[in-house]
Structure formats: C-alpha cells, structure tokens
Amino acid sequence: MRAEQNELVTRIGPGTACGTLLRHYWQPVALRDEFDAALDPAMALRPVKAVRLLGQDLVLFRDQGGQFGLLDRDCPHRGADLSFGRHEGDGLRCPFHGWKFDTQGRCLETPGEPDAPVGRRLCERITQRSYPVQERGGVLFAWLGDPGSRAPLLPAFDCFSAPASHSFAFKGLWNCNWLQAVEVGIDPVHPSFLHRFFEDEALGMHYGKQFRAASAGTVDGEAWPMSRVMRECFQPDIRFEAKDWGIQLTTLRRISDTLTHVRVTQSLFPQGFVIPLSETMTITQFHVPVDDTHTYWYSLFTSFDKPMDKETMRQPRLAAVTLPDYLPTAGRHNRWGFDAQDQQSRTYLGMGDADINVHDQWAVESMGAIANRSREHLGSTDKVIIANRRALLQAIEAVRSGAGAPGMANPEIAAQLPPVDTVDGIAPAHAWDTFWRDAAAAKRANAPWTANPAESRP
C-alpha cells in the first residue's frame, strides 16, 4: 500500500475522507453496563460519561426517564465542558452559566438571561448538536452522520436480535489505529500462530473462552478442541466471497484425506466481524476509532442455546481491564505480560492463555500507533486483507463522488440484510459445504429465541 493510501484509510477525524465514510455507519459508543451502578458506583448519583468517538469529544448521559442523550461536549454558550454538567433528571446543566439541555440537545433554560421575550427567544433558538442513540445487545450505538441525514436500521443480525438473556457485551481499549485492529480480526491464518497453545484444555472447561471449545464433528470418534485444529493444521486454504454486508470467509484446514476442518466467519464492512466461539455461541466484534491512534473493541456474545451466564463471562474479563473506562492492564509499559518461559512451554507468543485479547493487543499495538503499510510484504494468505483494503478505498471514493456508502450504511440494504452464519466444524472433505450450511441451520433452528425474532428483539 502506498503511503498516501495508508494516510487516507487511517485518518478518521471530522472532515477526513475515511472519517466521512465511517460516519455513515452506526458506531458503538458505550456498553449499557457502563451505566450500571453495581460496576460503577458513580452512576447511581450521576449517570454521565465523557466519551470520544471518531475524533469528536462528546458527552453521554441518561435522564430520569431512562432516555440516553449524546451531545457535543462543548457548551454552545461559551464552550465549557458539558461532561462536568449538573445532572438534574430532565437534562444536563452547564455549571458555567446554568444553561440546561435535554437528551435531544434542546435548551431548556438560560437562567442568567432576563425573563423578557428576548431572553426566552435566546433559549428557544439555541440547540446543542445531539446524536441519535439506540441500545442493541447490551451496547449503545450512536449515529454521527450529517444533520438531517437518514440513519439506516441496524440489520437483523443475531447480536442485535437476541434477547438480553442470551446476550453479553464487553469492551476494551487498544492503543492503535482502527484499521490494524480490524485487520487482525479478519485474518484467518493468525490463530494458528498467535493463539497457539501447546496443550489443550479439558473440554467442558471452556465456557466463554475462544479457541477452547470442541469443533463440531469428530476425528475417529474423538472431539478436537479448536486449539488442536489451529496448532496442527496451520496452512489453510482460504476462500472468500463478497456479500452485501461485507465478506464471507471460508477457511479449510486439511485433517486427513477424508476430513477437513471448515471455519466460516463473516466480515461486516467496515469495522466488524462475526466468528464462532463454540457450537452454540458467536462473537460479533466491532472496532471503533476513539481517534487516529486509539480504538475500542466491542464484543457482543450471542448464545443459541441456554441463557448466557453473564457473571462467568464478565469476571475473568474484568481482571484484564480497569474501570470505569475499560483500560487494559497489559500494554507496552509492561511488555504485555510477556514471559519467556511461557513462550517455551505454554503458548507460542508467551503471554499466557487466560485472555487471548492480549495476544491481539500485542500484535496491533506493537505495529505502532498507526501501522506503516508501505513497508509490508504481503503473502498469498493475506488475500482477505487485500480485498478488504480494496473495498475500503472504493467505498471512500464512492462517498467522495456522492454515490453513497455500501452495506449497512445503505438504508435499503440494511433493512433487508439477513442474519449471517458462522461455523467451526470437522466435515467430510468431499461435502464440507453441505456440512457447514446444515450445521449453521441446525444451530439457528434449535435456538429458543429464533422462532419469533421480531418479538425477541430488545
């Protein structure tokens, strides 16, 4: 990639070409859990958060009716920081001169101004820029499109349709640009190396752990954990197909003359992907730019079987971050927890197997805050990375020319996108395509909430 192209696809602030593209898509702005007083006691008194998204400083708050508001952070009066505002139930009041705004950005009061008509007219004509917010799958999504622009529906993907009982969401911060975070997630080869474990965990002890569950199907009657597949079958056959939502990836790993491991995942253009966690659980992950050099990942877990055990999911993940902002405890400052002995005897990377997010974190942060793609030497296994970059450059040019953004940004397409399927299974080598489609269909058919998806949608 040329240096000027790398600059184009990594800069996302207001007015940039890539930033303009990303503002055509709904963006995660916070977890619903961030307003849970059990996790952040400060929220019991004052449900207000300063947030930064796509290089913009914003304030997110919940009013007494449970409505969320997302406003520009600088008060329209004199520019003071509204994240320090007084939360008064029906709105947020700037402590500088007392101007008060509701969740829609309407000015409710300008108490220092005279009560005469001139003062009332001032209040009536002042509006703080506000942004639509909606909750799906335990995540608050924001729309930062141009004023008056039409926001598309969020598609009927499983992470947006499953009931709260079968959903769990978490997040964390990486100190890097958004695109290198996306690219690690859609890279089908890296799990065989970056996430290689030298020993497999006992099956049944894997709940909520990526690459620990057994793949669907067996080898000579024996269940293989995904960790074994990744370790032993490290030269995959990678195939991909353009879809309305992005790219469908199929990765085939030969086990024997008669058996093939098939892993189907989905890339949700421009920032997301869906991967299997187990036979009955998926992860949908979005990589959201805070600014050019910081990115939050949001993981939405969806269960197609039993209700989610949220505490079992949450507690080990909380051990890897500090609240209230979900900042990672590992990083460049402590060499991401690298241990040479662990690298020799336990994991390929040497950063433990308790939390594989730190593996990905090391990979993307060690590239630098913004990876220099002009120095890369890509191989044949990088075909999906190349295809995604090409799609990104094309989408940026389409928006520049007024043609509109693709996929989930297109209201007509977004409203009709179907749920997307994933699979991780050991299939007959001659019939892997039939196997994965049947397995995905069975998973969906057996889910207790898919019979009436419209009713189960939160």
Q: What is the dihedral of CA 15, 102, 124, 149, to 10 degrees?
A: 40
Which stretches in the chain have pLDDT values below 50? 452-458
User: Long-range CB contacts (< 8 A, 24+ apart) of 11-19?
Assistant: 11/292, 12/54, 12/55, 12/178, 12/289, 12/291, 12/292, 13/54, 13/55, 13/56, 13/291, 13/292, 14/54, 14/55, 14/56, 17/396, 17/399, 17/400, 18/392, 18/396, 19/54, 19/55
Strands (E) in 21-166, as ranges, are 27-31, 48-53, 56-62, 68-72, 86-87, 92-93, 100-101, 107-109, 133-136, 139-142
Structure confidence at residue 114 (pLDDT): 85
Structure confidence at residue 123 (pLDDT): 84
pTM of the model: 0.95
Structure confidence at residue 457 (pLDDT): 35
Structure confidence at residue 451 (pLDDT): 59
Buried residues in 163-186 as b, exposed as e (16+ CB within 10 A): beebbbbbbbbbbbbbbbbbbbbb
Bridge partners (DSSP) of residue 169 are 300
- Report the Cα 340 to chain-centroid distance in Å: 31
Return d(Cα 417, Cα 266) in angstroms, integer.
13
Structure confidence at residue 453 (pLDDT): 44
Contact yes or no for 387/247 (Cβ under 8 A): yes
Structure confidence at residue 458 (pLDDT): 33
Structure confidence at residue 449 (pLDDT): 94
> Could you give the domains of the chain?
35-142 (2.102.10.10), 158-456 (no CATH)
Structure confidence at residue 118 (pLDDT): 67
Return d(Cα 413, Cα 425) in angstroms, integer.
30
Structure confidence at residue 180 (pLDDT): 98
